[in-house]
Structure 1
Amino acid sequence: MAAYRRVFLAAAAGAFITAALSPAGLAFDGPETSALAAAKPLQMFKDPHQALQSALESYRSGNPASSVEALKYAAAGGEALAQWKLGRMYADGDGVPRDDYKAYQYFQGIVDNYDEDTANWREKSVVASAFVAVGLFNLKGISGNRLQADAEAAQRLFMYAATHFSDSNAQYQLARLYLDGAAGVPRNHMQAARWLNLAAEKNHVESQALLGQLLFSGDGVPAQRARGLMWMTLAREGAGGKTQDWIRAQYEQAIHAANDADRQAALVYLEDHLKRRY
């Protein structure tokens, strides 16, 4: 059994609501999967992997609802990408009714079945994303008493994905947890800055923005105004749609608060950073 499963499952066992899981402990749609197997509507697929490929083609063609049954067949057969895709679809209400608990179950299934000794590293990003998703569900909880909020469990999940997979999203979420603090996880801006820096170096835009703000303001860390302005400049250049308008607004506020020495030094840092990167 993987080291993670030995440590995490023992520590977080109380956080999982096993009564809602199938008798075998699989975090899938137990009744739906059983009915699916009984009806045998997917005999056209020779194996779960072929079902996964067919489902992804259907999804990409703009028919997410029509891909659901094939994805469930593939997920029940152990295809991690199918489990992850169903998790995202239920979390977003994409082709299925939104259901956070079903989403959580699919992501948790990936976490539970992960064994670092036999892992397929081609699925690294899928597994890391599942750890982050389960961490976020643990952090916020799920309504109806289906999952109680547990910041310490979220911290363990983020930490594992941040260290074992070096995943930038996990590093960002771990940093946010240290910035905000929660029950069992005290605020620690120095730790937050450390994880933000690791993610920022991987061009994680939100991490660049938050790290820049921390350094520019000196909030709980030694102030480095020019270096902070550099990170916010990079974040502004990489910011996407309206959901990242806060990054552009943050940059504008900082650039107006900066003096000439800050701006000139930030430009030097920026040029050096780009030389190292490219």
Structure 2
Amino acid sequence: MTPANAFDGTPDADSAAAPLAVVTAPSGVAVVRKTVTAPAAANNNSLSALQYAAEDGHAIAQWKLGKMFADGGGVERDDLRAFDYFSRIANQHAEDSPGAPQANIVANAFVALGRYYATGIANTRVKRDPERAREMLSYAASYFGSAEAQYSLARMYLDGKGIQRDVKYGVRWLGLAAHKGQHEAQALLGQMLFNGDHLQRQAARGLMWLTLAQESATPSEKWIHQSYNEALAKASEDDRAMALQMLQRWVQGRRD
């Protein structure tokens, strides 16, 4: 398989989007809680205002609170509360148009839920459920076109953790995410192409993707910088020149 026929961007029939039911946890108890009490240390006007808006059904407020509890930003980290807020968004907005103003928030909520299901939340009702994770990510990837979901879904198929390994599907989703600028997808795709891993080796194209990826990578993403440096050291002069031409075409918007 070559990138040309793997990245056509057409959803497969069996992955066509359909509304997902996200309402109940494995125990059968509703995921969404009506009453949320903030930790005393974070009980300030700003948090209270967010909670009030979240209770009133505002997706942006629900997303901000979910991220706060997921990251421990200004409050004690609580993944179960984060899961509940993301679930509210998914429950209430799953059928929103992909062009709606809050579509990106909804897609990100599905991605967050998918990642929680992929690992589970220790000592809670949210158990590891790879198939549920795949459903969440597939919905965000296909219906909303989320690059983050496409990358996470690609990793699931390529790694075969909890689901049947499918390199063809993995490469397809990886290519879609890379073309949308998801830098982790670009790095992994670049690695695979440069090394000929599961794909026909295309060193110049691989170096191009790795170059794009390392420009967006954070200092903590050392694997991306390392992969780029190793590829650059191994690349021939012709490969480097061709990769530069591909980068110029990318900048000009000719992303073939």
Note the aligned Cα RMSD (angstroms): 2.5
Report the AA paired with residue 252 of structure 1: N
Q: 1:37 maps to what in 2?
A: none
Q: 1:30 maps to what in 2?
A: 35
Q: 1:109 maps to what in 2?
A: 88
Say whether 1:214 aligns with 2:192. yes
- Report the CA distance between 1:275 and its aligned residue: 2.2
* C-alpha separation in 1, matches of 2:147 and 2:203: 24
Larger Rg: 1
- Report the CA distance between 1:164 and its aligned residue: 1.0
Secondary structure in 2 aligned to 1:96?
Answer: coil
- Report the CA distance between 1:262 and its aligned residue: 2.1
Deviations along 1:149-170, whole A, 9 cap, x unmatched?
1111111111111111111111
* C-alpha separation in 2, matches of 1:94 and 1:168: 25
- Of stretches 66-75 and 207-216 in structure 1, the one that deviates more from structure 2 is 66-75
**Matching residue within 142, 145, 166 for 2:121:** 142
TM-score, length of structure 1 as denominator length: 0.77
Report the AA paired with residue 228 of structure 2: Y
Q: 1:179 maps to what in 2?
A: 158
Secondary structure in 1 aligned to 2:253?
Answer: helix
Name the % identity.
Answer: 42
Deviations along 1:34-77, whole A, 9 cap, x unmatched?
xxxxxxxxxxxxxxxxxxxxxxxxxxxxx995422211111111
**Matching residue within 242, 245, 266 for 2:222:** 245
Report the AA paired with residue 207 of structure 2: L
Report the AA paired with residue 205 of structure 1: H
* C-alpha separation in 2, matches of 1:161 and 1:29: 25
Secondary structure in 2 aligned to 1:220?
Answer: coil
Report the AA paired with residue 226 of structure 2: A
Q: 1:227 to 1:64 in 2, by over 3 A?
A: farther
Secondary structure in 1 aligned to 2:102?
Answer: helix
Contact 2:158 2:167 in 1 (8 A): yes
Contact 1:93 1:99 in 2 (8 A): yes
Contact 1:158 1:173 in 2 (8 A): yes
Say whether 1:193 aligns with 2:171. yes
Q: 2:76 maps to what in 1?
A: 97
Secondary structure in 1 aligned to 2:32?
Answer: coil
Report the AA paired with residue 77 of structure 1: D
Q: 1:224 maps to what in 2?
A: 202
Q: Which runs of 5+ in 2 are unaligned?
A: 1-16
Contact 2:94 2:106 in 1 (8 A): no
Report the AA paired with residue 32 of structure 2: A
**Matching residue within 175, 187, 211 for 1:233:** 211
How many residues of Structure 1 are paired with residues of Structure 2 in the alignment? 236
TM-score, length of structure 2 as denominator length: 0.83
Contact 2:110 2:136 in 1 (8 A): yes
Report the AA paired with residue 191 of structure 2: Q
Bigger relative contact order (CA 8 A; separation at least 6): 2
Say whether 1:272 aligns with 2:249. yes
- Of stretches 128-137 and 223-232 in structure 1, the one that deviates more from structure 2 is 223-232
Deviations along 1:169-194, whole A, 9 cap, x unmatched?
111111111121122x2222222222
Say whether 1:74 aligns with 2:84. no
Q: Counting helix residues as a fraction of each chain, which structure ranks higher? A: 1
Q: 2:231 maps to what in 1?
A: 254
Contact 2:69 2:79 in 1 (8 A): yes
* C-alpha separation in 1, matches of 2:122 and 2:153: 23
Q: Which runs of 5+ in 1 are unaligned?
A: 20-24, 34-62
Contact 1:107 1:133 in 2 (8 A): yes
* C-alpha separation in 2, matches of 1:127 and 1:141: 20
Q: 1:38 maps to what in 2?
A: none
Report the AA paired with residue 180 of structure 2: K
